[in-house]
């Protein structure tokens, strides 16, 4: 799977959704900002939580977005792998399949960003 294309395509679909339902998307954006900016956990820790949930609920686009955010937040491949191990433990066999997608996404983004 080409995760970079998945990220780009998802961003375009989100822009279309923003145009179709602007008030609802503004509300979602406000919620996203509030949870990211508030609280005691840092950005990286919050993104690790989001990635674990994304793997458990099997959302490929969510996985790609949170892996990208983790790369920007300074996460390492080893940290990501540790979080993926917890996601697998919590979600079983399907988690294994989606954790593999997350690791593949990380590697594609790392190759792109060099």
Please state whether the predicted TM-score (pTM) of the whole model is above 0.75. yes
* Cβ–Cβ < 8 Å for 109, 67: yes
Sign for the CA dihedral angle at 20, 24, 26, 28 comes to negative
Across the range 87-93, mean pLDDT stands at: 93
Q: 12-25 pLDDT, tens per residue? A: 999 999 999 999 99
CATH placement of domain 3-113: 1.20.1290.10
Instruction: Please give the pLDDT value at position 1.
Output: 82
Tell which residue, 37, 109, 27, has the closest CA to residue 68.
109
- The terminus-to-terminus CA distance of the chain in angstroms comes to 19
If you write DSSP's letter for every residue of 25-56 in order, what string do you get? HHHHHHHHHHHHHSSSS-HHHHHHHHHHHHHH
Across the range 22-47, mean pLDDT stands at: 96
Percent pLDDT > 70 in the chain is 100
């Amino acid at each position: 799977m080409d995760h970079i294309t998945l990220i780009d395509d998802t961003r375009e679909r989100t822009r279309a959704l923003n145009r179709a339902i602007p008030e609802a998307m503004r509300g979602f954006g406000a919620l996203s900002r509030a949870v990211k900016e508030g609280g005691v956990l840092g950005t990286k820790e919050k993104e690790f939580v989001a990635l674990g949930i994304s793997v458990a609920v099997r959302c490929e686009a969510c996985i790609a977005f949170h892996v990208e955010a983790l790369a920007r937040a300074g996460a390492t491949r080893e940290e990501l792998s540790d979080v993926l191990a917890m996601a697998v433990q919590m979600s079983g066999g399907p988690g294994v399949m989606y954790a593999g997608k997350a690791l593949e996404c990380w590697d594609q983004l790392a190759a792109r960003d060099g």
